Structure 1
Amino acid sequence: MNILFSHLNFPAQFGAFGANLARQGWSVTFVTERTDAVPPPGCRMFRMTPHRTPTEGVHRFARPLEAAMINGQAFANAALAARQAGLSPDIVVAHSGWGAGTFARAVWPQAKLVSYVEWYYRFPPVDAVGPIPPGNDADRRALALARNAPTLLDLAEADLVLCPTQFQADQFPGWIRDRLTVLHDGVDTGFFTPDPQARLDLPGVTIPEGAEIVSYATRGMEPTRGFPDFMRALALLQARRPGLHAVIGGQDRAAYGAGPPDGTSWKRHMLAELDLDPARLHWPGLLARGPWRNLLQSTHVHVYLTVPFVLSWSLVEAMAAGA
């Protein structure tokens, strides 16, 4: 079979799965916006490059849709180049809601289109951090509905709609939920495996022999993924356990939600709030797959916190690695 995966990011949900199919003899192609992405062995890759950003001053309800349409045009241009190079996929699997495969059928009308959906926006949001502040609820309901427009466009064309978890599927209206196939994208259990002999080996991280290691990792450090809660718990642990060291992976940014009220980052905010021993805090930044696996295999306790939201791959990988 000839299959194409489209996602603004890479490897994202599809990288390991596509590589697995390639090892089984499938013809696998990726389309991504990432300029530094390298295709797995035996796979092809095409780049989609948006030609501009959304229009300054466009109606705020329309901004997510315009951004998705610009991405959709970038995908279509990449797909046309792939078609010119002789590519004719039997199946296109596209990450929904961002335009990554919205126009796949315009280029390959014969292909089966699989739409991978993650979230349906509602108000009040189930993923709210703390109490919802008072405001114009009618406006916020309208904005939530408008944010779903790119996903609804994708659903109109899809032959099959995948959603990774039942909780995520339950956020969709009933008439859409009936169309969803709940199927997680999986974890590479050939790579993320327990290793009782593993020892922490991360660049720039030196921890004394025999130390207790607690780990936490996230793309961005924000309340949605429980970063302030983790740091407050860590302050208590440091006071009670002098041999405890923490390894905190991720970037000093908010991937979901806003920054703290003081205008700093959540990392700086929590370091200012708490009495922590910096010598027992280690910040290796974003981790590539190898170092990430090493952290999971060698930590004593890995912490994953979240509001009710999209399930992080990191939790499933931590479980597979035996953390």
Structure 2
Amino acid sequence: MNILFVHQNFPAQFVHLAPELIRRGHRCLALTDEVNKRETKTPTVRYRHRTPRPDGAVCRLGRTYTEMSDRGISVARAAAALRDKHGFAPDVIFGHSGWGETLFLKEVWPAAKLIIYAEFFYGARGRDVGFDPEFSTPSLDQAMITTARAAHLGMAMLSADAALAPTKWQASTFPPQLRPMIEVIFDGVDTDVLRPDPAAVAVLPDGRQFRAGDEVLTFINRNLEPYRGYHIFMRALPAVMAARPNAQVVIIGGDEVSYGAAPAEGTWKDRFLNEVRDRVDLSRIHFAGKVPYPAFVSLMQVSRAHAYLTYPFVLSWSMLEAMSAGACIVGSRTAPVEELIKDGVNGRLVDFFDVEGWSAALIAALAEPEAHAPLRAAARRTILQGGYDLRRHCLPAIADFVERVGRG
């Protein structure tokens, strides 16, 4: 079959799938934004998207739809050029609905089967919006804004033939009428790379080294911000560092904003560091920034305790990768995490806002590594046997799913 992947940041979720489908004999092509410089061996064409951001005062509740549909137009015009100038006709199109890229592709190729990567559906209740009262107070205006933001996501699903979600909870965020379209298969964890290694050595950007067995507490966000609980983690640190005077804290993540609003000034990183600065030993807190993937792997292998927090939102790959590496996970008792972590079985769960509870759980994990060893082993078994292993389950299952959709 001819299979077209559409993603502004390709390869993204398709980093393993495209090569696998090529290996199976299909002809794969990627369509991505020209500003995307990520490397891939998949044949790739690029679209130009230069539409100015819409004026919120004019668009009001339609601002998100205007922005996303403008991108959809850019993608559709590039797709039409592929059709008209090169005769390209995909049997299957697989795209992420989050940025509007798939909205009009059925107008270019009506016979193609369209698969949507259904990552998350915005909603005013039971999800990220209004979850953290420190930053988001529920109101009618907020509910209307959030509901309106989902317009392009619903429209994308209505034009699709099938959809794929990585977790059951993320699939559950979509309206009940759309859920029968959604297959749930996780993207996959490479358990051969993410595995326990008693000889692991992690090297920080400043040259500092840690080894398996060292008292290392880890925390990772793409960017350090409230959506992933950075503020709660930092507030738990003073008690942890006082109780564990030899503990070293490694924090991975950038200073930008991935989700939610930016702070009024400065960065979220500095705002919450400054909140506890006079109550922690700064020489034992290591901000590593964004690190290369091998450095992340080695840090998960040497970690004695790994804190993972998230609003009810998209689950981070990093949590499952840490589980596969045999880390002791202390996770937030929020729905995306509870799908994977069972308290006292393969990790520990703490209420997202319970700062004292976080301190106590992290202190226990650092102080009693042997007692927590069964949780580590169970965490890895969850990934190996629970349907999250890339090579043994996820990749074959997703590739089979694409082929089934393509066959109708």
Deviation of residue 161 (structure 1)? 1.6
Judged with a 3 Å threshold, the aligned counterparts in structure 2 of structure 1 residues 99 and 237 are, in CA distance, closer, same or farther, namely same
Judged with a 3 Å threshold, the aligned counterparts in structure 2 of structure 1 residues 24 and 205 are, in CA distance, closer, same or farther, namely farther
1:187-202 → structure 2 map (5 Å cutoff): 187-202=189-204
**Rounded Cα–Cα distance in structure 1 between residues aligned with 2:168 and 2:210:** 42
- Secondary structure at the aligned position of 1:19 is classed as helix
- Secondary structure at the aligned position of 2:145 is classed as helix
Judged with a 3 Å threshold, the aligned counterparts in structure 2 of structure 1 residues 125 and 257 are, in CA distance, closer, same or farther, namely farther
- For residue 252 of structure 1, the aligned residue among 255, 272, 286 is 255
**Rounded Cα–Cα distance in structure 1 between residues aligned with 2:105 and 2:292:** 31
Residues 1:94 and 2:95 are matched in the alignment:
yes
Judged with a 3 Å threshold, the aligned counterparts in structure 2 of structure 1 residues 284 and 28 are, in CA distance, closer, same or farther, namely farther
Deviations 1:175-232 (CA, angstroms, capped at 9, x unpaired):
1223322222222334333333221024324146674211111112122111011112
RMSD: 2.3
**Rounded Cα–Cα distance in structure 2 between residues aligned with 1:208 and 1:317:** 19
Judged with a 3 Å threshold, the aligned counterparts in structure 2 of structure 1 residues 241 and 12 are, in CA distance, closer, same or farther, namely same
Question: Which consecutive residues of structure 2, in runs of 5 or more, have no partner in the other structure?
Answer: 328-408
1:153-172 → structure 2 map (5 Å cutoff): 153-172=155-174
* Aligned equivalent of 1:78: 78
- For residue 173 of structure 1, the aligned residue among 165, 175, 191 is 175
Deviation of residue 311 (structure 1)? 0.9
Question: Which consecutive residues of structure 1, in runs of 5 or more, have no partner in the other structure?
Answer: none
- For residue 317 of structure 2, the aligned residue among 313, 317, 320 is 313
Judged with a 3 Å threshold, the aligned counterparts in structure 2 of structure 1 residues 322 and 68 are, in CA distance, closer, same or farther, namely same
**Rounded Cα–Cα distance in structure 2 between residues aligned with 1:207 and 1:241:** 19
Cα contact 1:16–1:188 (8 A) shared by 2: no
Cα contact 2:126–2:312 (8 A) shared by 1: no
- For residue 296 of structure 1, the aligned residue among 284, 294, 300 is 300
* Aligned equivalent of 2:290: 286
Amino acid at match of 2:302: S
Deviation of residue 62 (structure 1)? 0.9
Amino acid at match of 2:106: R
TM-score when scaled to structure 1?
Answer: 0.89
Judged with a 3 Å threshold, the aligned counterparts in structure 2 of structure 1 residues 298 and 11 are, in CA distance, closer, same or farther, namely farther
- For residue 234 of structure 2, the aligned residue among 205, 216, 231 is 231
Q: Which moved more, 1:113-122 or 1:29-38?
A: 29-38
Cα contact 2:95–2:101 (8 A) shared by 1: yes
TM-score when scaled to structure 2?
Answer: 0.71
Deviations 1:222-246 (CA, angstroms, capped at 9, x unpaired):
2211101111222222222222112
**Rounded Cα–Cα distance in structure 1 between residues aligned with 2:82 and 2:190:** 28
* Aligned equivalent of 2:395: none
Identical-pair percentage? 39
* Aligned equivalent of 1:46: 45
- Secondary structure at the aligned position of 1:62 is classed as helix
Amino acid at match of 2:9: N
